[in-house]
Amino acid sequence: AAMSRKKLQQLVDSLAPSARHFNKTEVEQLIKLFNVLVANSSNRFAGIGFDRNFFTHTLHTEFGLTDDMIMDRVFRTFDRDNDSCISVVDWVKGLSVFLRGTLEERIKYCFEVYDLNGDGYISREEMFQMLKNSLVKQPSEEDPDEGIKDLIDIALKKMDYDHDGKLSLTDFEKAVKDENLLLEAFGPCLPDMK
């Protein structure tokens, strides 16, 4: 069912302050897009939001993300209340950072995506899991895992400022501020340029 003009306006007004990178017109467009996508989806939250499958399909088709593990983590960063459903609030707030976040916000977002177990660190094991998925294996390689382990050593040498063998948010932030290209060091989790 289409949302009444008044209801839409109330939703825009309530969401606009927390989606500070969008103006009210843009927030309204995002809500309308959300409603169209939800109406066209046949997921188990039909009418109120997206389930994981529909959300990852949208990440893939609209934003060019391809890695299933990373898309699953993006889902978790959008799904703030952990109810396995992306509501309109999750959608607008999430896209505010995803599409227009400041460097600080995107650093925090990427860190959350890469911190697979949510313990506040990106460990060697987590780096390995993500890089294993995102690197193309050459058939000629004896042991492709060796190359990944070398990459992890390089990453830690460059980013692990307190030398504890894992990356804290502070390490990650400092590394990315020194070299912006490191923002998506462990796999693409932001929209592609188009």
Residue type, 71: M
- Of 35, 70, 100, the one marking the end of a domain is 100
pTM: 0.89
The answer to whether 112 touches 167, Cβ cutoff 8 Å, is no
Q: 87-101: per-residue pLDDT in tens?
A: 999 999 999 999 999
Q: Is residue 74 part of a domain?
A: yes
Q: What is the pLDDT of residue 4?
A: 84
Same domain, yes or no, for 161 and 91?
A: no
Same domain, yes or no, for 68 and 117?
A: no
Q: Is residue 189 part of a domain?
A: no
| CATH code, 174 | 1.10.238.10
Q: What is the pLDDT of residue 111?
A: 98
The Cα angle at residue 110 between residues 94 and 186, in degrees rounded to 5: 140
Q: Is residue 33 part of a domain?
A: yes
Q: What is the pLDDT of residue 1?
A: 46
Same domain, yes or no, for 160 and 128?
A: yes
Tell me the residue range of the domain where 28 lies. 5-100
Q: Is residue 191 part of a domain?
A: no
Same domain, yes or no, for 160 and 95?
A: no
Same domain, yes or no, for 94 and 19?
A: yes
Q: Is residue 87 part of a domain?
A: yes
Strands (E), the chain: 121-122, 167-168
Which segments of the chain have a pLDDT < 50?
A: 1
> What crossing angle do the helices spanning 103-114 and 68-78 adopt, rounded to 10°?
120
- Of 38, 68, 100, the one marking the end of a domain is 100
**Number of folded domains in the chain?**
2
- Of 100, 118, 148, the one marking the end of a domain is 100
